[in-house]
Every structure is written in structure tokens, then in C-alpha cells.
Amino acid sequence: MIAAQSTRTDPIAVFEEWMAEAAASEPNDPNAMTLATCTPDGRPAARTVLLKAVDPSGFVFYTNTESRKGQELRANPHAALLFYWKSLRRQVRIEGEAEPVSEAEADLYFATRPRLAQLGAWASDQSRRLESRSELEQRLADVERRFSGEVARPPNWSGYRIMPSYIEFWQEMPYRLHDRTYYRRVDDGWHVGKLYP
């Protein structure tokens, strides 16, 4: 039987421990997370993105800012994240507000991406209608010719930081008596508590 979580005061430290354990056990993309956004009138949408950084200020991912998620975050910055690690029987739910990362932070991360991924950021009008795969391939070829050397970051490609106001850790337990610990931001700290499964 897996022991219930102890109640600790820093949810980011707990998350980093869980992420390290997931990285050691998950076969693919332990940093994959579901990002849920809403339109201004409350219509939700969810998709999987990759966590690229985490620190006490929040959880960072990168995308085309003109994509559907980018437009929705611009109109309504409230968002939710969900990590589910099946091999560990754990999930983490995060709710908070999105803010763009700095230009310097976006430049720094973009420079670490493989060249083809950098070129793809220029070639793809993410979330917009594509007539055929060959159209995307032609656009990629055009971009490859344009950038013979270093690839600059596109102006519509950047990152968002989800600044958490709520984090919940869920651990599967026998007989569906799961362990749930939540952290709700209060002033400069966190209120910690338990929830019924």
C-alpha cells in the first residue's frame, strides 16, 4: 500500500519531486500537460502542451501566440493545467492566470530548439485551416531558403507562464480511497488542506 502524502508547505517543491519521479518512469513526455482555456463567453477548449520550465512564479510552455490557445489566453487569461502520470497513478491539477514570458526568456528558449522546429515555427500558421500537407511542406522549404544561417524567433511565437492560485496533488490509493492534497494561494503563501476522494 502506498502511503498518503505528508502535508508540506511548498507545492512547487512537491511538484518538482513528482516530476523527477515521472521523468524516471514515464516512457514518453513526462512533461506533457493538458492546458485548458476558455473563450470570453466561457466555451472551454483543452489540448496537450509541454512544460518547459517551472519555478516559484509558475509553469511555462511555448506556442504560437496567434493560435487558438494564444487568442483565448489574450482574451481570458484564466487557465488550468493537468498532469497525469499513469505509471505512477498520480495527477496534478493547477489553476491560475497566464502571463506572457519576457522577450528575453522566449529568445533564450527558442535558441535551444532544434533547427527544424525553429523553421516550423515560421512555416506553421497554427490552428488555421490547411488545404493540404504539401502546402505546409512548401512553406517549410521556403522558410529553409530564407534562413540559411541562424533562425530568428518569429514575432508571434513566445511563451506563457501559468501563475498558480490553486494546485492539487492526487495519488491513487486502494479501494478508491485516494489521497488528495490541495494548496490555495493566500497572500504570499499557501493554505494547505485535504479533500475527500
Report pLDDT digits (tens) over 97-106: 999 999 999 9
Q: Give pLDDT tens digits for 51-68.
A: 999 999 999 999 999 999
Does 65 fall in a domain?
A: yes
Does 149 fall in a domain?
A: no
Does 159 fall in a domain?
A: yes
Best CA proximity match to 127, nearest among 63, 33, 73, 36? 63
Does 134 fall in a domain?
A: no
Mean pLDDT across the stretch 141-167? Answer: 96
What gap in Å lies between CA 29 and CA 82, rounded to an integer? 14
How high is the pLDDT of residue 1?
41
Question: What domain range is 48 assigned to?
Answer: 11-105+155-195
Give residue 117's region: left, alpha or beta (phi > 0; psi -120 to 50).
alpha
Task: Indicate the pairing of strand 189-195 with strand 90-100.
Answer: unpaired
How high is the pLDDT of residue 8?
83
CATH number at residue 82: 2.30.110.10
Does 112 fall in a domain?
A: no
How high is the pLDDT of residue 14?
97
Our count of domains for the chain comes to 1
**Rounded-to-5 percentages of helix, strand, coil across the chain:** 30, 35, 30
